[in-house]
Amino acid sequence: MKLGILLSFACATLVASAQYKPGQGVANDHARGGNARDVVFVERGGGNPYGYRSYDTAIGLTLLPWSFPNDESSVKGLRLNLGWGYYAGTYGLDIGAFSSTGEFRGLGANWIGHYADRDAKGVQVGLVNVAGGRAVGLQIGLVNHVERLEGVQIGLLNFATSQWMFPLVNIGW
């Protein structure tokens, strides 16, 4: 009996003392400590450093800086922006005040503007429209900016970093 308790205690201690190294788990202070020796790493629960899971959702809502369900998710359907929250990807109809996303495909109509970190494919309408990578389709706004344009920009100031830029109408291929 005492031997069983002792073995159980030894196994529990061994399991509890398992340590993860950086890259295998997430730090309890989200790696803000700067010194890997001073933090405790625990096993990750999801596909991101904070342990929650990213997934696709049919409806996304941004309220001020918050994105629901979370900013690691992608919206495939309808995204309503009542602020400026971020999603990993937006695919479908994106409407509201301001949109910020990793990748965009669809129709984005936001009165302040639309920002995509990477590529934007489809239509972006707003005062300011930005695509950090390639824009394929149409941008309509006061200011439009892309890295590489494969479509049309209509606005007072149009910028395409990799080619000629023209005010009012800019066409790229």
Smallest Cα–Cα separation from 23: which of 34, 38, 36, 32?
36
Query: According to the model, what pLDDT value does residue 11 have?
Result: 44
Query: According to the model, what pLDDT value does residue 167 have?
Result: 82
Tokens of 167: 């005010």
CA atoms within 13 A on the CB side of 3: 0
Task: List the chain domain ranges.
Answer: 2-43, 56-171
Indicate whether 55 pLDDT > 50. Answer: yes
Tokens of 69: 């369900």
Smallest Cα–Cα separation from 108: which of 132, 85, 78?
78
Smallest Cα–Cα separation from 15: which of 43, 36, 39?
43
**Mean pLDDT (whole number) for 9-15:** 45
148 vs 40: CA distance, rounded Å: 44
Residues β-bridged to residue 131: 116, 146
Indicate whether 70 pLDDT > 80. Answer: yes
**Mean pLDDT (whole number) for 32-38:** 49
Instruction: Summarize pLDDT for 122-131 with one digit per residue, the tens.
Output: 999 999 999 9
pTM: 0.68
